[in-house]
Amino acid sequence: MKKNRVIAVYSRKSKYTGKGESIGNQVEMAKEYISMHYPDEDLDSVLVYEDEGFSGGNLNRPNFKLMMQDAKDGLIKTIIVYRLDRISRNVSDFSGLIEQLNDLNIDFVSIREQFDTATPMGRAMMYIASVFSQLERETIAERIRDNMHELAKTGRWLGGTTPTGYTSESVEKISVDGKAKKSCKLKLLPEEATIVQTIFNLFFRNKIPDENRDEAGPGRDKDQTGEFFLQVFH
């Protein structure tokens, strides 16, 4: 017996906030759209797929994969999202997805942009919008990289495991408007710095590192993470 295909709602957010375009809000807006444009559709039959904490940079998301499997199994007739970039910010991924949905005879609707792949114009406009979505993603990433590079040039430590011989310390400064601002900088650890200098001296003298472990200081040749200093030469 052939199954009746139903409408699916997909929602995604990179991190939980509980406000704005939250997962719950996206689903509610999609259901309101269904009530207005698909009045004969039973809201209780709508399939909801949610991916919270996943980037739009690729399609490697558990519930998105589940939705696509259900689509291939013939359970879905239309996929509705609140906004185009909830599906993907990658043009290649998005265009491939739309082609796949077309082959499965599944319509795709984006509420915010008012796109509907049931029409030729809707399909064309959706491709154009996906290009700008990827442009926005790449522009934001580039801006973040540039900003981090400029902050690093001022001597700030931007996070991660500190280099052997250093630790991270918080520094507070008062800005011109009187506000206290905190940042992190690297602080030299003299006890580790001496060991690191010894290691490099031994290395540049063409000695085999593992044979000189004792010379670096027995019982003191591990860094803050518990790793041996000399392993950097392996």
For the stretch 133-182, pLDDT in tens is: 677 777 888 888 888 888 778 778 887 888 888 888 888 776 667 777 78
Task: Return d(Cα 73, Cα 145) in angstroms, integer.
Answer: 42
CB 230 within 8 A of CB 210: yes
Confidence of residue 62 (pLDDT cuts 50, 70, 90): very high
DSSP letter at 213 equals T
Q: Where are the beta strands (DSSP E) in 76-156?
A: 76-81, 107-110, 115-116
> CA angle, 205 as apex, 227 and 210 as ends, to 5°?
35
pTM recorded for the entire structure: 0.54
- Strand 107-110 vs strand 115-116: parallel, antiparallel, or unpaired? antiparallel
The mean pLDDT value for 90-94 works out to 73
Residues 169-194 have pLDDT tens digits of 888 776 667 777 788 888 888 888 88
Question: What pLDDT is recorded for position 190?
Answer: 87
DSSP letter at 42 equals -
What is the percent of the chain where pLDDT is above 90? 24
Residues 109-124 have pLDDT tens digits of 888 877 777 677 777 7
Residues 27-44 have pLDDT tens digits of 999 999 999 999 999 999
The mean pLDDT value for 50-75 works out to 91
CB 209 within 8 A of CB 230: yes
Q: Over 60: is that where the pLDDT of 105 sits? A: yes
The mean pLDDT value for 63-68 works out to 95
